Amino acid sequence: MCGIVGVVGNSKAIEIVTTGLSRLEYRGYDSAGVAALDEAGDLHTCKEVGKLAALLEKIPAFTKRVGATSTAIGHTRWATHGEPSVTNAHPHVGTMGPFTLAVVHNGIIENHTALRTKLSASGAKFVSATDTETLPFALAHALQQGAASPLAAVQQLLPTLHGNFALVAMAQGVPDELWGTRRGAPLCVGLGQGAANYLVSDPLALAGICERFMFLEDNDVVHVTPHTIEIFAAGERVVRPVQTLDLSADASGKQGFKHFMLKEIHEQPAVVARILSAHTHATTRLPALEFSPTIAASLASATAINIVACGTAYYAGMVGKYYLEQLARIPVNVDVASEFRYRNPPLVAGGVFIAISQSGETADTLAALEHAKAHGQTILVFTNSPHSSMARAADCTIPLLANREIAVASTKAFTAMVLNLLLFALQLGLQRNLLTAAAVQEVIQQLRELPTQLQEQLEHTVPIQSLANNLATMPGRSLLYLGRGLLAPMASEGAIKIKEISYLHAESYPSGEMKHGPIALVEPGLPVINLAASNDGLLEKTLSNLQEVAARRGEVILIADSAATSQLPANLQAIVITVPTVHPLLLPFSFSIPLQLLAYFTATAKGTDVDQPRNLAKSVTVE
Ligand code: G6P
């Protein structure tokens, strides 16, 4: 979703802002802009709709117009209030009397209508349809009303704002100073070397520029100059810890792959190996997730677990439910966060709540987490972003260890979620004396063979490519994905993946549900992708479902291991994609690869923007 970059004290301020914005492109946006102060302290802006490339074309002329500068802010906007347009793009500028400020902002100011009415009555001349534009006017108005400084204006404004947001402001005539604040959306200070400092929504924006960062807490207000960083909480000076981050792997580019998504699909063998090395014991070959004594006690006594997530993370949660119920015999409820947060579900005292999120910033998941926390739950977070808002709010964080995922459609983070959930369930099952050490070691042994198996799958993609070419050019625009047991959430994950990047409509159902409705969709030629394994005890049922599709002349596509495909009735015509035979608990991994690649190759055959699909964002920080 939106990205913020602010610079003070660096003579390459505009270049650093635009490079930073390009690093945040992956988050999804539909317009972009920069503002800078010239040597006289006058404010200039430059904005463009569409991809950053359109803005970059205007930057040489803008840089010439501004001349020497060391103060600049920039933004990539994902439209919420008002269409993507130059007028609605950030930075927004507001003038009241002698005061002019520019603001970039992520998130939503929920009471913007009331603010707009009040500020208009005081003379503010709004030009955009955005909630953001209220911010520079509100700050300028506070200064007009006697606020001692822009810092005081931000401090006065903050308690009046509703919603989740992060903002950075600069003021005309005040070079080398930036002000910022956040609530529910990330903002951090990048500590420059020498006389420069930075404010960004994501440290990745400063890869190669900074290694040390301070992550702001909710309702912190920050004032940054080239030599000073002042942070205030409730009006008092506070110090936030400095974290040193190595961003080199995150900023390593596509490494020869055509898209980040393809690179990330290919990284999965290494991700699995990394997780096993970090989260299993080298000699005992048992899971070794580390929990404090308090968390271990909560887990030992837990009688129910709530898992909450969105999108792909939700389907990982569905797989986790299966693991936890089968291996640790704990009842698990899985909810999409946007439902959980408003349903006010009864939560048992001493319950365990698990949030799963690649970004750790998804607004709905974060709000659900806060709700569970307020109701006395023990909060565990499975996230790929150990410095995220969710990680900071959690009682315990399980790092996914997938390294940065850039493509919007999640692949390696999904695999990392599922693997960490499996290790977690095995560990709980062992602690509860439901599993023997030998049984757990057997699964871990199979997991250790997984990187090689996944690598082999990645090297044999011809049948998937040819199926993808057919799907990309098929006359209809709909697909059905079916699976049972662990393969039911995998069917859903396959369907969301192809929807996200190829824009084909795809429905998913547990196979047994097909005859209760979706079968009405089956007509000659409708592609029905069935997932089946020979060793999960469900094959016979799945084969019956295939017959039901074939009888209605639907196009039967079977993704299955060879023992399962060999049981296909001889008269049944099907397109077959073979996966290796794996331990039944490992099915999500062997099926992920063909499902991800099918989505990827269909999208490339259709020529869509694979890494940044339309309307989607990598980190959804608004409701
Ligand atoms: C967005 C993305 C999905 C992703 C979901 C959850 O909707 O488009 O691909 O699965 O967010 O993201 P999270 O960061 O919480 O895992």
Residue 236, CA distances (Å) to 76, 219, 222, 231, 241 in order: 32, 12, 11, 8, 16
- Are both 432 and 394 inside the same structural domain? yes
Does 77 map to a domain? yes
Residue 486 shares a structural domain with residue 366: no
- Domain identity same for 433 and 529: no
Same domain, 154 and 10: yes
Please report which confidence band the pLDDT of residue 78 belongs to, taking 50, 70 and 90 as the band edges. confident
H-helix or E-strand containing 382? strand 378-383
Residue 20: C-alpha distances to residues 27, 210, 248 (Å): 12, 11, 14
Cα 615 to middle of ligand 1, angstroms? 13
Asked if residue 240 and residue 201 are part of one domain, the reply reads yes
Q: Which residues share a beta bridge with 242? A: 214
Domain boundary among 251, 269, 286: 251
- pTM assigned to the model: 0.86
Domain boundary residue, one of 428, 456, 484: 456
Q: What is the CATH number of the domain that holds 109?
A: 3.60.20.10
Closest atom, ligand 1, to C-alpha of 313: 16
Give pLDDT, residue 480. 96
- 279 and 205 in one domain? no
Q: Tokens 């960083």 — which residue?
A: 229
Same domain for 316 and 408, yes or no, is yes
Annotated active-site residue 210? The verdict is no
1 confidence band (pLDDT: 50, 70, 90): low
Compute the mean pLDDT over every residue in the chain, rounded to the nearest whole number.
94
The reported pLDDT for the residue numbered 81 is: 87
- Catalytic residue list contains 310: no
Considering the domain architecture, whether residues 466 and 451 belong to the same structural domain is answered as no
Token pair, residue 312, equals: 């792909």
**222 touches 237 (CB < 8 A):** no
Give pLDDT tens digits for 350-398: 899 999 999 999 999 999 999 999 999 999 999 999 888 999 999 999 9
pLDDT score of 171: 98
Query: Which segments of 124-177 are extended strands (E)?
Result: 165-171
Catalytic pick from 47, 263, 412, 618?
618
Percent of the chain with pLDDT over 70: 99
Q: Which of 26, 27, 310 to mutate to test the pocket of ligand 1 (most atoms within 8 A of CB)?
A: 310
**Contact by Cβ (8 Å): 244, 211:** yes
Question: What domain count does the chain have?
Answer: 3
- Centre of ligand 1 to C-alpha 549, Å, is 32
613 belongs to a structural domain: no
Domain boundary among 227, 251, 275: 251
CB-defined site of ligand 1, < 6 Å = 310-313, 357-359, 362, 365, 408-410, 616, 619-620
Residue at 256 is within a domain: no
Q: Are residues 294 and 435 in the same domain?
A: yes
What's the CA-to-centroid distance between 312 and ligand 1, angstroms?
6
Q: Report the CATH number that the domain containing residue 586 is assigned in CATH.
A: 3.40.50.10490
Which atom number of ligand 1 is nearest to the Cα of residue 311? 10
Measure the CA–CA gap between 38 and 59, rounded to whole angstroms.
14
Domain that holds residue 568: 460-606
Task: Single out the catalytic residue among 2, 46, 210, 310.
Answer: 2
Q: Is residue 316 scored above 70 in pLDDT?
A: yes
Whether 557 maps to a domain, the answer reads: yes
Ligand 1 centroid to Cα of residue 336, in Å, is 11
β-bridge partners, 558: 530, 576
Cα–ligand 1 centroid distance for 1 (angstroms): 11
- Whether residues 48 and 150 fall in one domain: yes
100, 45 contact by CB (below 8 A): no
Give the DSSP H or E segment for 140. Answer: helix 134-144
551 in any annotated domain: yes
163 lies in some domain: yes
Tell me the per-residue pLDDT of 195-235, one tens digit each, with 9 for 90 and over: 899 999 999 999 999 999 999 999 999 999 999 999 999 99
Alpha-carbon dihedral 262, 263, 269, 270, rounded to 10 degrees: -170
Do 439 and 365 share a structural domain? yes
Judgement on whether residues 242 and 134 belong to the same structural domain of the protein: yes
Inside any domain, residue 623 = no
In this structure, which residue's CA is closest to atom 9 in ligand 1? 409
Task: Report yes or no on 446 lying in a domain.
Answer: yes
Cβ count within 10 A of residue 608 = 18
